[in-house]
């Protein structure tokens, strides 16, 4: 893919990540914590995929942590260990926030609380901002 096309594709993914982050914030404000957590995870996943597309990579899967760990230019990420830690937090919000069979005898709405939503939004916001900064610097 040409450099221009790669940058365009990366921008599309990052803008979509920013939209998911805004959705997570709205859901958090409205007290819909499980879905706020899920959209925070989606924001992180799409922001990382934006970086992959920028370097003409082929991101696969939904694990934010794996997207960081396998990133082709991982050594160029600032404080990559922190990125991995933050990504692992978001990965915990991928399935059990949406499916009752991911939790014992409860629904996601029964389990996810405001502190979970706050943590998800905070982590996703930092990751999206870091991805935006990295993308603009390359």
pLDDT tens-digit readout, 12-62:
999 999 999 999 999 999 999 999 999 999 999 999 999 999 999 999 999
The answer to whether residues 62 and 47 touch, using CB atoms and an 8 Å cutoff, is: no
Name which of 93, 92, 97, 121 is nearest 18 in CA terms.
121
b/e sequence 94-119, b meaning 16+ C-beta within 10 Å: bebbeeeeebeeeebeebbeeebbeb
> pTM above the 0.85 mark?
yes
Rounded distance, CA 38 to CA 26, Å?
Answer: 12
Residue 1 has pLDDT above 80, yes or no: no
For residue 81 the two structure tokens come to 């260990």
Rounded distance, CA 47 to CA 54, Å?
Answer: 11
The burial class, CB within 10 Å (0-12 / 13-18 / 19+), for 62 is middle
Q: Which domains does the chain have, with CATH numbers?
A: 3-136 (1.20.120.330)
Rounded distance, CA 123 to CA 121, Å?
Answer: 6
């Amino acid at each position: 893919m040409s450099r221009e096309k790669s940058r365009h594709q990366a921008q599309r993914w990052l803008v979509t990540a920013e939209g998911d982050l805004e959705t997570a914030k709205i859901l958090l404000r409205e007290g819909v914590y499980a879905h706020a957590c899920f959209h925070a995870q989606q924001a992180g996943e799409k922001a990382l995929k934006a970086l992959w597309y920028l370097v003409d990579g082929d991101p696969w899967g939904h694990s934010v942590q794996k997207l960081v760990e396998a990133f082709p230019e991982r050594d160029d990420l600032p404080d990559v260990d922190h990125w991995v830690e933050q990504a692992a937090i978001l990965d915990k919000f991928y399935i059990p926030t949406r499916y009752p069979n991911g939790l014992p005898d409860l629904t996601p709405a029964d389990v996810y609380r405001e502190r979970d939503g706050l943590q998800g939004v905070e982590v996703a916001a930092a990751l999206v901002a870091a991805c935006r900064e990295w993308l603009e610097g390359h």
